[in-house]
Amino acid sequence: MKPSIYITRKLPDVCVAELKEKFDVKMWESEEIAVPQDVLLSEVKKVDALLTVVSDPVTEELLSVASNLKVVANMAVGYDNIDVEAATKRGIYVCNTPDVLTETTADLTFALLLATARRVVEAAEFTKEGKWQSWSPFLLAGHDVHHKTIGICGMGKIGEAVARRAKGFGMEILYHNRTRKPEAEKEIGAKYSSFESLISQSDFVVAMAPLTNETRHMFNAEVFRKMKSTAIFINTSRGAVADEGALYEALEQKEIAGAGLDVFEVEPIASDHPLLQLKNVTALPHIGSASIDTRMAMIHICVENIQRILTGESPKTLVNKSMLETK
């Protein structure tokens, strides 16, 4: 019997053709609608590999019924949707898709920063809605980006790629990270800063840290209060690094000037969510890595990791590296 794979979202045939030659492949047949958890619970019982997306919760409960499962290949660099500890305990490899999405996600982060500062989305809607009556001095006037201070919280590869873009705009670059990045300091001119000083000095505070127990709600009411009243908060990492209730209050009370959000505590965010009612919020549907080339590259890595593991080779991009020590 061939090893079997369950793919939790419809992917292009060309991406799965190679897998289908060697393995039994079953795929959830919708691109937009997530596989219901009860379906996933029943499918996972039978398979050797799972290809998941960022919105699939791979919980301890799910893993506990997956008696043949050898690998979860997650189509994302982040893996906070997976209980990695529970997977490791059961000898299941967890793989992600780092590197290939770095520049694409940095592009989107910078696009969101520019769009929020210069009110691009609001201005485009205004024009299409026929509201434009005449040129006027402060019509949709926003905030400058060039030569302002950007504060990047979480200086991983994507953070550094954002910093390189900021350098091109002549920005002063501050960063906060668990470890210092001497290469980024030397090559990009980024300055290491304490979190406290970064949030109070930056015109643009950019959340780039992965979601962990330590980073959950790191942007809370107290933090927003310490930001400049002209500051713009950008989040392309995970929604839960910010307390959305506190963010709403800070925007509503004009403690900060705006927010550009690609990620939310609950996704998809409901259209009647208070944050979406604010003019000074630019909201996107978690599209940080969404270029066609990058999404194809991410799928390709997942496919490669699954093939490797099911044929006894080491995975290319492993999250739970301790698995290699125990093998």
Give the residue numbers marked as catalytic: 238, 267, 286
Selected range binding ligand DGY among 73-81, 125-133, 140-148, 186-194, rule: CB under 6 A: 73-81
Return the number of the residue (54 or 199) whose C-beta is nearest ligand DGY.
Answer: 54
Size of the site for ligand DGY (CB under 6 A): 7
Q: Least distance to ligand DGY from the beta carbon of 218, Å?
A: 17
Return the number of the residue (101 or 150) whose C-beta is nearest ligand DGY.
Answer: 101
> CB–CB of 60/14 below 8 Å?
no
- Alpha-helical (H) ranges within 146-273 are 157-168, 182-188, 195-201, 221-226, 244-252
Return the number of the residue (177 or 236) whose C-beta is nearest ligand DGY.
Answer: 236
| Interface with ligand DGY, residue 156, by CB under 6 A | no
Write the DSSP assignment of 113-139 as a string of letters: HHHHHTTHHHHHHHHHTT---S--TTT
Per-residue x/- mask for ligand DGY, residues 74 to 103, rule CB under 6 A? --xxx----------------------x--
| Interface with ligand DGY, residue 54, by CB under 6 A | yes
17 CB contacts (<8 Å, ≥6 apart)? none
Selected range binding ligand DGY among 70-78, 108-116, 172-180, 314-322, rule: CB under 6 A: 70-78
Tokens 């505070």 sit on residue = 205
Q: Least distance to ligand DGY from the beta carbon of 298, Å?
A: 7
Return the number of the residue (281 or 298) whose C-beta is nearest ligand DGY.
Answer: 298
Return the number of the residue (235 or 289) whose C-beta is nearest ligand DGY.
Answer: 289
Return the number of the residue (54 or 113) whose C-beta is nearest ligand DGY.
Answer: 54
Return the number of the residue (289 or 307) whose C-beta is nearest ligand DGY.
Answer: 289
> Can you tell me the distance from the alpha carbon of 164 to that of 204, in angstroms, rounded to the nearest whole number?
15
Q: Least distance to ligand DGY from the beta carbon of 112, Å?
A: 13
Q: Least distance to ligand DGY from the beta carbon of 42, Å?
A: 26
> Can you tell me the distance from the alpha carbon of 169 to that of 316, in angstroms, rounded to the nearest whole number?
35
Q: Is the peptide bond before 268 cis (omega within 30 degrees of 0)?
A: yes
Residues 100-119 that bind ligand DGY (CB under 6 A): 101
Q: Least distance to ligand DGY from the beta carbon of 194, Å?
A: 27
Q: Least distance to ligand DGY from the beta carbon of 123, Å?
A: 27
Tokens standing for residue 69: 């499962």
> CB–CB of 293/315 below 8 Å?
no
Query: Nearest 5 degrees, angle CA 241-CA 247-CA 250?
Result: 145
> CB–CB of 159/152 below 8 Å?
yes
| Interface with ligand DGY, residue 261, by CB under 6 A | no
Among 151, 239, 288, 315, binds ligand DGY (CB under 6 A): 288
> Can you tell me the distance from the alpha carbon of 165 to that of 315, in angstroms, rounded to the nearest whole number?
32
Query: Nearest 5 degrees, angle CA 285-CA 289-CA 294?
Result: 140
Nearest-CA neighbor of 308 among 67, 86, 73, 11? 73
| Interface with ligand DGY, residue 19, by CB under 6 A | no
| 120-128 and 102-117 helices, crossing angle to 10° | 60
Site of interaction with ligand DGY (CB under 6 A): 54, 76-78, 101, 288-289
